Amino acid sequence: MDFLPPKNDFVFKRLFGDAQNTDILLAFLNSMLTDVGKAPLEAIELLNPNLDKQSINDKLAILDILVRSVNGDLINLEIQVINEHNMEKRTVFYWGELYTRQLEKGKTYTSLRRTITINILDFIYLPMNQAHSLYQIREQHSNHLLMSEMEIHFYELPKLKKIKIKQRTPLQWWGLFLQGIQKDQAEEFRMHDPMMKKAVDVLETLSQDKESRLLYDAREKAIHDEVSRLEYAQLQGRSEGEAIGEARGEARGRIEGIAQSIHHLWQKRFGKMSKKDEKALHTASSEALDHILDQMLEPQYTVEQARRDLGK
């Protein structure tokens, strides 16, 4: 069985955002920080380890990973496979939200800790040749750093080239891993270091898990639908920002997306849907669809139970 691609955001979240894999996450974060001369983190706490199954089918969902270091630094990590051409503004916006959220009532500005945003991109976005870029606020003439609390990282995976094993940096090892590995490459990555070995082992286990593959398929379909919608919006002469704003505001679009995911999973688990089942699917309430989608991922859920739930 082939390995699932780690750059799929669902797989990425299961791999690095699981409380049992914080050592893998720490190794990856430290490879990112040390690559630009920053001190490595000693320990981290995962602040959002849970994965909401409903978000798998939300085309615009952000399956990010939020971390706090032992000294209070906040880190937000996410992977993006769709270029929505708004990375600068959305990145600064989310960084600002995370930074200002620290200032609770009664606290002073001195309590604000370093806040790091890391964007891993599966597309080329920035004009520089290097794959890893770090942005901070600096004075234009003297290059004086205004504040050390702000760090925004971009890691563009397509800019990674084939690099000889002996010449790879720790971050390049992780970048090549995220691009996806084949069965015949697994041992090469396992031999790099213990954390990379664990990452490959976890990925192999995920790839062999039936539920994980169903969720991966559902997420890939949601992403594909979003790419198609953006392309259509461009053809119609509408801006992507307008299309995204409209998509966020359309509740019906969410319901249809869930129905499509159920149809997709139904065919994989139970075979082709009858016309009667399809009609019931498209007239079911949002509550019923949410319930069915959640249950569809349980191995003991039967087609008879699904039909009963459709009629509720």
Residue pLDDT, tens place only, 213-265: 877 777 777 666 665 665 556 566 555 555 555 554 545 556 776 787 788 77
Distance of CA 106 to the CA centre of its chain: 34
Q: What is the pLDDT of residue 72?
A: 92
Does this model's pTM top 0.85?
no
The least confident of 68-77, 109-118, 151-160, 293-302 is 293-302
Tell how strand 74-80 and strand 115-121 pair up: parallel
Q: What is the pLDDT of residue 200?
A: 96
303 DSSP 8-state letter = H
Q: What is the pLDDT of residue 270?
A: 84
| Predicted confidence (pLDDT) at residue 131 exceeds the cutoff of 60 | yes
Residue pLDDT, tens place only, 76-123: 999 988 787 788 988 999 899 899 888 876 788 888 999 999 999 999
Cβ atoms within 10 Å, residue 196: 21
Higher-confidence residue of 292 and 242: namely: 292
Q: What is the pLDDT of residue 59?
A: 47
Q: What is the mean pLDDT of the chain?
A: 83
Positions of E strands within the chain: 44-46, 65-69, 74-80, 115-121, 132-135, 150-156
Q: What is the pLDDT of residue 175?
A: 95
